[in-house]
Structure 1
Amino acid sequence: MTNFVKPNTGKDYPEMGKEAVEYALADANMPYDVVQQAVCGYVSGDSCCGQRVLYQIGMTGIPIYNVNNNCATGSTALYMAKQLVEGGLCDCAMAVGFEKMAPGPLVNGKFEDRANPIDKHLKIVDEIAGIQKGPIAPQFFGNAALEYMKKYGATELHLAKIAAKNHRHGSKNPRAQIRKACSVEEILNSRRIHGPLTKLECCPTSDGAAAAVLMSEKAVIKYGLKEKAIEIIGMELATDTSDVFKEKSMMKVIGYDMTAMAAKRLFEKTGVSPKEIDVVELHDCFASNEMITYEGLQLCGEGEAGKFIDAEDNTFGGKVVVNPSGGLIAKGHPLGATGLAQCAELVWQLRGEAGERQVPFAKIGLQHNLGIGGAVVVAIYRKGFQYNTHNIVPTNERSEDIRSKL
């Protein structure tokens, strides 16, 4: 991944994308010619931005797909690339995500002559809490926080503790947009945005890019990459169920149900227990989403997020380290790049290459990337070729050598 920076303070998207792709190819020690298919993710941009990025690296005539799945775009590109390899359609695929964002709060529904893609979600928000003036995203997640707090007794202090943790982690990440540790008091006293959310509990808009090379097991062996290989042992992409529009719940509107559904499928298919997860990159667009998502990912029991936070079981020395990168709150959130940046962080953690923020003895990592409207990707990673704790059976019944590798 590139450094994540404040919008319009760095490079244009072609240069950012090129930088990330070159990093990924150099890491794999291979030329672009080896890549057989590529999936490019971005939210803001015209058609064929993926070609604009990749043509700088090489014009080899390969299939290039351009995808947009809101804030889950980067992980959706990764998911598609994984399917191409796992399905036996190619032995080497690339996923790249990039974003050049406008300064200020995220704006949805920029086209005035057509339906807003989240208009039905907005209707539920209006029915539950009434839509207020100002940015809409904090209203989604601020109102969801209020619902969770009322239901389970969590407090604003818990949100501040999450944000303080992520700012602390981010201060040790040289690629993070915000590298300043903040105290709980500073976070609580920062400007109120919506409901219980303060400015320092919200992710910033960002520019940046990230990329990954995915290979079949056969190709990993062929190119001598066994020592570097990180395996995606399971990955689930889920979307909203009809309950989002039947039940008046802000937690459902922001994707709790689809997160829980994807996580449940993933743990069942891989045989991995939530208790075995060492490190998590979780979509903390707002501190409230991290708090609510602990349960969806089965990192704690129902209603136990406050207890989980107070015990510091979400950081170094606890049960699992969540967002050692600083998460979206500190690292930044360039929409199309976020999911692939999570992938990069987990790869570095599982290789033992994360420097000051290294999670000791990390063996299994979990990724969670969410987009309202909606889509969520949840994935489990482990070091390839070294661990055989679980008997993972490929779901498509193809031979072992086409299971997806990073």
Structure 2
Amino acid sequence: MEEIAIIGIGLQPFGRNDGMSGQAQGAAALRAALKDAGVGWEQVGVAYGGSQDGGNADALSNHLGLTGIPFVNVANGCATGGSALASVVASLQAGVADIGVAVGFDKHPRGAFNPKPADWGLEDWYGETGLMLTTQFFALKTQRYLHEHGIPEEALVHVAQRAFRNGALTPHAWRRRELSFEEIAESMPVNLPLRKYMFCNPAEGGAALVLCRASEARRYTDRPVIVRAAAMRTRHHGSFEVFSPGLAAKQAPAPTVTASKAAYEMAGVGPEDIDVIQLQDTDSGSEIIHLAENGFCEHGEQARLLREGATDIGGRLPVNTDGGCLANGEPVGASGLRQVIEICFQLRQQAGARQVPGTPRLGYTHVYGAPGVSAVTILEAR
């Protein structure tokens, strides 16, 4: 199957962009990606994109031009960006078009997300218990995970400390102040063991990619990034996911586990080959869990890796080099594509003060969304 390359990247910085609609932020990111690739909108033959609260992604054609392009709206929670990218890759491999784009954007109101149980196939009792509030669900899941694997709560602090340290090195990050161990550990409890600085914020912003067949990529750029794998999987019965109304007697692997295994198989590599990593870190506990679920360590090893600096920019497993969701916030539709853009910066050697040492060749991204959707990409500098 023919390889696909990323030839253009564009980012509307995350945070609060008052006076700018979600769609306008998506359009700004898409224009930037097209400019980076040296491609006109009229040359794009297929598009996939998504937004949770910012409006329909296909309406970006009103901003870019009504060209008749097949533009598919994607809605997979926090995995929207990864799902859009996987869809564009499949379309280009199928010969639907020569050039495609993946785009995501959002504009969330302040405060926690407020989903309705019925929209997720659940009865009202689930919301009445408080579990529709994702901060509470993930705190319970984290508490259980730390207990089962003997991980101290200080590991949660180390995740957040590194995220804000990396965010301080990232010009487009929202949160750019480094925080001390004590500031994080003593911050306001939200849902214990998770505290204020261990959660990301719902945010605004946009992200976009332009892709084409790898054989044509150097017509547009001298720094193509090859998509070695783009896999998306949903949950199996018995996996313990957000909006799960109960625990099965026998737990099944998480969709992250199945998506990561599929991606490694597609790319013909293993976790030991990856040079730079982006993991879903909507909270500190989620990153800890995802480190193991994506194969980068055994369950229970995370505390030692974090304490020793293995996940730092200069470590052997550099994770979330731009500060991840904790430092950038999460506009749901755009978040997964921000991860890919950061890996492109790293593989292109354009990451500035946060550039990982040496010459990274393989990068990895992972997103996880409700009610149990995971998307993984493996990218290569060539």
Question: After TM superposition, is the score higher than 0.5?
Answer: yes
Task: Check whether the contact 2:314–2:356 (CA below 8 A) recurs between aligned residues.
Answer: no
Aligned residue for 1:188?
185
Is 1:13 the counterpart of 2:22 in the alignment? yes
CA drift at 1:246: 9.7
Structure 1 residues 94 and 310: alpha-carbon distance in aligned structure 2, compared to 1, 3 A threshold: same
- Matched-pair identity in %: 30
Secondary structure of 1:238's aligned partner: strand
Residue 357 of structure 1 aligns to which amino acid in structure 2? R
RMSD between aligned residues: 2.2
* Deviation per residue, 1:285-338 (Å, 9 max, x gap): 000000011111111113211222222111123211100010000011000000
Task: Check whether the contact 2:259–2:375 (CA below 8 A) recurs between aligned residues.
Answer: yes
Structure 1 residues 41 and 22: alpha-carbon distance in aligned structure 2, compared to 1, 3 A threshold: same
Q: Whole-Å Cα distance in 2 between the matches of residues 120 and 240 of structure 1?
A: 19
Q: Whole-Å Cα distance in 2 between the matches of residues 164 and 55 of structure 1?
A: 42
Secondary structure of 1:367's aligned partner: strand
Is 1:62 the counterpart of 2:72 in the alignment? no
Aligned residue for 2:350?
353
Q: Whole-Å Cα distance in 2 between the matches of residues 19 and 256 of structure 1?
A: 39
Counting only pairs closer than 5 Å after superposition, residues 376-395 of structure 1 correspond to structure 2 as 376-384=374-382
Aligned residue for 1:264?
261
Task: Check whether the contact 2:85–2:230 (CA below 8 A) recurs between aligned residues.
Answer: no
Structure 1 residues 265 and 246: alpha-carbon distance in aligned structure 2, compared to 1, 3 A threshold: farther
CA drift at 1:74: 1.3
CA drift at 1:50: 2.1
1:239 pairs with one of 234, 242, 250:
234
Q: Whole-Å Cα distance in 1 between the matches of residues 107 and 228 of structure 2?
A: 31
Is 1:43 the counterpart of 2:52 in the alignment? yes
Task: Check whether the contact 1:256–1:292 (CA below 8 A) recurs between aligned residues.
Answer: no
Stretches of structure 2 lacking an aligned partner (at least 5 in a row): 1-10
1:92 pairs with one of 79, 86, 99:
99
Counting only pairs closer than 5 Å after superposition, residues 2-401 of structure 1 correspond to structure 2 as 2-6=12-16, 9=18, 11-46=20-55, 49-109=56-116, 115-117=118-120, 119=122, 123=126, 131-132=129-130, 136-221=133-218, 223-225=219-221, 227-244=222-239, 248=247, 257-360=254-357, 361-384=359-382
Q: Normalising to structure 1: TM-score of the pair?
A: 0.85
Residue 380 of structure 1 aligns to which amino acid in structure 2? I
Say which is worse superposed, 63-72 or 238-247, in terms of deviation: 238-247
Stretches of structure 1 lacking an aligned partner (at least 5 in a row): 385-406
- Counting matched residue pairs gives 366
Structure 1 residues 11 and 374: alpha-carbon distance in aligned structure 2, compared to 1, 3 A threshold: same
Task: Check whether the contact 1:10–1:207 (CA below 8 A) recurs between aligned residues.
Answer: no
Q: Whole-Å Cα distance in 2 between the matches of residues 122 and 338 of structure 1?
A: 30
CA drift at 1:132: 3.9
Task: Check whether the contact 1:364–1:382 (CA below 8 A) recurs between aligned residues.
Answer: yes
Residue 271 of structure 2 aligns to which amino acid in structure 1? P
Task: Check whether the contact 1:39–1:66 (CA below 8 A) recurs between aligned residues.
Answer: yes
CA drift at 1:235: 1.4
Secondary structure of 2:306's aligned partner: helix
Q: Normalising to structure 2: TM-score of the pair?
A: 0.90
Aligned residue for 2:6?
none
* Deviation per residue, 1:80-124 (Å, 9 max, x gap): 111111222111101110001111111112xxxx8231627985x
Task: Check whether the contact 1:256–1:293 (CA below 8 A) recurs between aligned residues.
Answer: no
Residue 61 of structure 2 aligns to which amino acid in structure 1? L
CA drift at 1:45: 4.5
Structure 1 residues 279 and 203: alpha-carbon distance in aligned structure 2, compared to 1, 3 A threshold: same
Q: Whole-Å Cα distance in 2 between the matches of residues 121 and 357 of structure 1?
A: 45
* Deviation per residue, 1:176-204 (Å, 9 max, x gap): 11111111110011110102000100001
CA drift at 1:10: 5.0
Residue 39 of structure 2 aligns to which amino acid in structure 1? M
Residue 94 of structure 2 aligns to which amino acid in structure 1? G
Q: Whole-Å Cα distance in 2 between the matches of residues 56 and 257 of structure 1?
A: 39
Q: Whole-Å Cα distance in 2 between the matches of residues 305 and 247 of structure 1?
A: 27
CA drift at 1:218: 3.2
CA drift at 1:219: 2.9
Task: Check whether the contact 1:41–1:77 (CA below 8 A) recurs between aligned residues.
Answer: yes
Task: Check whether the contact 2:106–2:205 (CA below 8 A) recurs between aligned residues.
Answer: yes
Secondary structure of 2:379's aligned partner: strand
